[in-house]
Structure 1
Amino acid sequence: MPGDDPAERTVASERSLSPMRRTIASRLQESYREAVHVTVSREVSATAALAASDVELDGDGSVSPSVTDVLLRALSDSLADHPSFNATFEDGTHRIYEQHNIGVAVDIDEGLVTPVLEDVGSKSLAEITRERRRLTDRVRAGEYSMSTFENGTFTVSNLGPLGSDFFTPVINPPEVAILGVNRIREAVVPATAAEGRDAGNGASGDGGPAGDAGNGAGGDGDPAGDAGNGAGGDGGPAGDAGNGASGDGGPAGDAGNGAGGDGGPADGRFTTDKRMTLDLSFDHRVVDGADAARFLGTLADHLNDADAYVG
C-alpha cells in the first residue's frame, strides 16, 4: 500500500530554475570553484552608526540615512585604507581600483541580486542615502538591466533584519571580498569597549587598532539598506571574551585576548552597548587573514567615528 515503504517519497511540486536563478547558481558555483574562501569575523559597536542614522541630513526629513548608508560610507573609507580589498582577481591578476563601486545585496522574488552603487568614495552620506534608495527601489520594481550589477569592486550583504548572528557570505566573482552584516543587539561589555577603547586585537595580537572587542558576528539594516533593526535582541552574553579575529593573537603569537578576555576589565566596570558582528569573506589567494583582521579593525574605527559623516 502507498506509504508502507518508509523510503517512499512523494513529490509535492517541482519547478525549473528561472534564467536569473540559473545565473545566480552558476556564479556561486564559479566562486566556490575558483576562490579560496576564508571568513574572519569581528564584533563592533553600532552605537555611533545608530546615532548618525537618526540625523536628518536635509532639514525636512526627506533624507535620513539608515545604518547601512552609514556603513557604506565607513566601508569606502576603510577600502581607501586597505585598497587590496577594493579589487578583482581574474586570470592570475589582482586588479585594484580607484573607484569604490560597492554592490548592495537585495532580496527580490527572483533571488538575491547585487546592484552596484558606483564611486561611493566621492559621495556624501546624503548622496549615498538618496542613490542607494533609488537603486534598490528600481531593482525591486523590476526596472534594471545587467549593467545595474556590473563593475562592482566590493559587496555588502545584510541579513540583520532576519535575525542572523553569523553567516559566511560567498564572494561575488571576480571580486576578492564581501562583507556580511548581522543584527544589532544590546550586549553587556567592558566600559572601555563602549567608549571605543577596547583592546580589539589586530592580526599580530598587539592590541590592534583602537575600536571594538573583536568578536564573532552581529547586525545591521536590511539587504536593501534600510535600517531594519531595533536595539532588540536577547541582550547577548554578558561580557564576551573579546578575542581578536585570529583568536590566538595572530602571526606575532601574542596572547591575543581582547578587553575582558582575562575575566573582565581591570577597573571592573561594565556597561551596555549596541553591538553588531561583521563577517568578511575574502579570497585567500589574494589577501591573508591578517589583512582581513586589520581591515575589520579599521572599519570598526570608522564606525566609532560615524558622527563625522553627519557633522
Structure 2
Amino acid sequence: MVTSGADSVERLSVRSYTAADLAAVLSLVADDRLTGQPETTPEMLAEALEGRSPVDGERWAELDTPHTEVACDETGRMLGVVSYATRRTDRAGLILWLHAGEDLGVARSLVERALSRLGRRTLYAFELPAALSLGLRGLPVRSRPATRKALEGAGFSSCRQWRYFHRILPRREDTGEIRTYPIAEVTVTSRPSGRRLRLREPDGALTGEAVVGEPVDGIGVLRWITIDPEHRGRGLGANLTEQCCTVLAARGAHEVITYLDEDALPGGREYDAAAASQLLEARGFDEVGRLSSFVRRP
C-alpha cells in the first residue's frame, strides 16, 4: 500500500539499526527482489552494513562507515530501512540502499532522514552496487515507483541508467552435455571472483573479451563482453556469449543476468550499448528492468 499523508509520516520514528532488526530488514529486501537475483542472506546484509561489496570494492573503500537506520510505526513495527554514507575523496553524500515496502510515506521519511544527516552537499542515491545483490547498481524504477517518487520529491534527478537482462540456461539433465565451440581462452579472476575469457587472433592480438562472475545460488553474471569494432560482423560476439553461458553452466549456473550501461557512447571503441543490446536479445536474454542512479546538487 502506498501512502502519502502527513499523518502517516508523523507517526513514524527513525532509529539506528540493531541486530534485532535482521529478520525484518531481510524481509523488506526480499519483497523488492528482482528476477535473477538470489535471496539476500544474513552474510550479505552484514557486508552491506559494514560498507563492503564484492563488486566495485575499491569505490566502497572510499566511503566512511555507513549509517543504517530503520523507520518504525507507533507500535514499534519496522516499516523501512535506509543506509547512507559520506565519501572521503570528495565529501559527497550517498544514499546506498533503501527499502520501504514501496510505502511512499515511509520512503519519504527515510530519504528526509538521510538528507538531514548528510547535510548540504552533493548527494547521490543508488550509485554503487551493494552486497545485497549480484552487482545490482541503480534503483529498479519500474518496480520501485514509490521510492523513485520520494527521491524526486526531495530534489533528486536521474543521473545514470542501466538495462537489466536475464536468461534461463538449459539444465544438463534436460539437454545432456552442454556444448559450444570454445573460441576463447579462459582464466580465473579474483576481483570479482569468476572467469575471464579472451579471444585472440592467431598472432595473439586480442579481439574480444568477457568476464563472468562465480555463480551464486545457480545465478551467474555476465559482467562484461566486448568485441573489437574491426572484428565485428563475424559472429564472434554470439559465439563468445554462448561460451560465457557454457562456462557459467559448468560452474552450476542455470540463470544468467547482465547489465548494460545506457550512458555508454554509441559506437565507442570499447563499448557499444546498442550493439550489445542486440547481441543479448539475439542470444535469448530478456530485459526485465531499467535501473537508475540519482543526484541532488546543493
Q: How does the TM-score come out when normalised to structure 2?
A: 0.32
Q: Which has the higher contact order (CA 8 A, sep 6+)?
A: 1
Instruction: Normalising by structure 1, report the TM-score.
Output: 0.31
